[in-house]
Amino acid sequence: MVGFCMGLIVGVAATVAILRRRLIDLVTSLRPYQSRRSEIERPCLIINRWSGGGKAERYGLVVAAEKVGIETVLLEPDDDLVDLARAAVGRGVDALGMAGGDGSLGLVAGVAAESDLPFFCVPVGTRNHFALDAGLDRDDPLSALEAVTQGREIRIDIGVVGERPFLNNVSLGIYPLAVGQDGYRDDRVGTFLATAAEAGSSDDQLDFRFVTPDGREQHRSPLVLVSNNPYVWSGPPDFGRRQRLDSGTIGVLAVGLPGQDETLSVADLLRRRAFQEWSAPELRVDSPHDSVSVGIDGESMELPSPIVIRQQPRGLRLLLPRGARPGFAIGGRSVNAELETLLEVLGDSDS
């Protein structure tokens, strides 16, 4: 009987500790962003007319933007996005925007950050994951223009890998291989699974090293995802969402463990829960090769080795429409409902 009571007490204490941790996480997600009203006079929006199968043209984005006083620049096949953005800064614009996919957003956001100008985005890409976490309506791209006309400005983090900025995530291992395949855009999951099945443990693109939080070196990991602020599981269709965009840390998910059998497939490693997750200010990745293959917000490329993936905490001034609410509540419930439930449980446990 004594043993049963002790076990019950320990179990209750552990449950309360978990609930308190979740309560702290929820209170953190409720913390308001430092915000101020946007006062923009000369905004410029760069538009990728081909992004998302031509969404910008279907929604009449150019006409809608110019109607509210936003200068528009159409991306041409031979244009360099960074050059276009810097040229706009040179003309004296006081806000930079991008209409396109997440990779394009990251490049223009990087120019805005280096120039200390506000940045806004119009979600006309295929997935628009950044717009989702920023609280924008992906089904109504034109509503994002209100960020300039009657919006507010908040400070969020921007990620940097090497010298390249990113807004969502950087991937290493199998994922960059999959992104480079011709069929990836049409069948992401199928292409990824096929690539994972074909990639051998001796593939050079899997040959990189990093140090885990316990100080051990891990190498030849089949998949590493590094995100600008940690992701939490959100279920389909997006699977990963961020509670905050200003935590000041990167999130790391590394499949495989130090000393793990390198012949195991990604599926086997996941089934065995052979992966680690942690948050950190930065992650250094070394390789015996001259370059490291990475996927940056869905675009595959090679970067000189070694690379450092890090944060610029609150380094980006983001313009949002008044109704946009950045972040995500775990479980898909409203933050307030989740908070009230936890408070009730904690109140009962303390009585």
Give the SS3 label for residue 174: helix
Write the CA distances from 330 to 22, 162, 323, integer angstroms: 9, 31, 21
Distance between CA atoms of residues 194 and 265, nearest Å: 12
At residue 4, the pLDDT reads 39
Mean confidence (pLDDT) of the chain: 82
E strand intervals along 162-245:
164-166, 169-173, 209-211, 217-219, 223-228, 231-235, 239-242
The first and second tokens of residue 70, run together, are 């936003």
Write the CA distances from 256 to 48, 77, 203, 276, 294, integer angstroms: 38, 40, 16, 8, 18
Which of 177, 226, 182, 224 is CA-nearest to residue 205?
177
Query: Sign (positive/negative) of CA torsion 232, 234, 235, 239?
Result: negative
Give the SS3 label for residue 132: helix
At residue 121, the pLDDT reads 97
Beta-carbon contacts of residue 88 (< 8 Å; ≥ 6 apart): 44, 46, 71, 73, 96
Lowest-pLDDT choice from 14-23, 269-278, 320-329: 14-23
The first and second tokens of residue 329, run together, are 């509540």
Q: In angstroms, how far is CA 11 from the centroid of its own chain?
A: 36
Considering the domain 36-157+315-331, what is its CATH architecture?
3-Layer(aba) Sandwich (3.40)
Domains 36-157+315-331 and 169-312 agree in fold: no
| pTM score, whole prediction | 0.81
pLDDT at 277 exceeding the cut of 80: yes
Per the model's pLDDT, the better-predicted residue between 14 and 85 turns out to be: 85
* Cβ proximity of 105 and 127 under 8 Å: no
Distance between CA atoms of residues 150 and 320, nearest Å: 9
Half-sphere exposure in the Cβ direction for 258 (13 Å, CA) = 10
* Cβ proximity of 323 and 258 under 8 Å: no
Share of the chain above pLDDT 90, in %: 52
The first and second tokens of residue 47, run together, are 């538009």
Q: Could you tell me the residue ranges of all domains in the chain?
A: 2-33+335-350, 36-157+315-331, 169-312
Q: What is the pLDDT of residues 164-218, one digit of tens each?
A: 999 999 999 887 777 766 666 666 666 666 766 666 544 666 788 999 998 988 8
The residue to which tokens 């990113």 are assigned: 166
**Strand duo 95-99 + 118-122: pairing:** parallel
Other Cβ atoms less than 10 A from the Cβ of 98: the count is: 31
- Alpha-helical runs (H) found in the chain: 2-30, 55-58, 61-67, 81-90, 102-114, 129-133, 146-150, 174-179, 188-198, 266-271, 335-350
Question: Using omega within 30 degrees of 0 as the cis cutoff, is the peptide bond preceding 237 cis?
Answer: yes
pLDDT at 345 exceeding the cut of 90: no
Which of 295, 330, 34 is CA-nearest to residue 169?
295
- The pLDDT confidence band at residue 2, using thresholds 50, 70 and 90, is very low
| Paired strand residues for 297 | none
Q: 169-312 belongs to which CATH class? A: mainly beta
Distance between CA atoms of residues 327 and 83, nearest Å: 31
| For residues 250-263, average pLDDT | 76
Which of 164, 266, 254, 174 is CA-nearest to residue 209?
254
